[in-house]
Amino acid sequence: MKELGVTDAEFVQFEKDFVAWEQAIDEQVMPLIDANKLPEALKVSAPILGEGSQKLVVFS
């Protein structure tokens, strides 16, 4: 959208939310997966990959 020149307030907020979503996965979920703590990773990832993902899709 940036390449098309579309950078309204909604897009800027989407971009911030997307970065925060990616960061949550990288910082909270991946370390647990890497440590082979899968049950804990599933618990931590539920709100990030569930509600967090849904919010990003709704914007699209």
52 lies in some domain: yes
pLDDT bin (cut points 50, 70, 90) of residue 59 is low
28 lies in some domain: yes
51 lies in some domain: yes
2 lies in some domain: no
1 lies in some domain: no
Q: Specify the number of domains making up the chain.
A: 1
Mean pLDDT computed over every residue of the chain: 89
Domain of residue 31 covers: 12-56
Q: Choose between 51 and 6: higher pLDDT.
A: 51
Q: Choose between 38 and 9: higher pLDDT.
A: 38
7 lies in some domain: no
4 lies in some domain: no
pLDDT bin (cut points 50, 70, 90) of residue 60 is low
Residue 58 Cα to chain centre, angstroms: 13
Phi-psi region of 5 (alpha: psi -120 to 50; beta: other; left: phi over 0): left
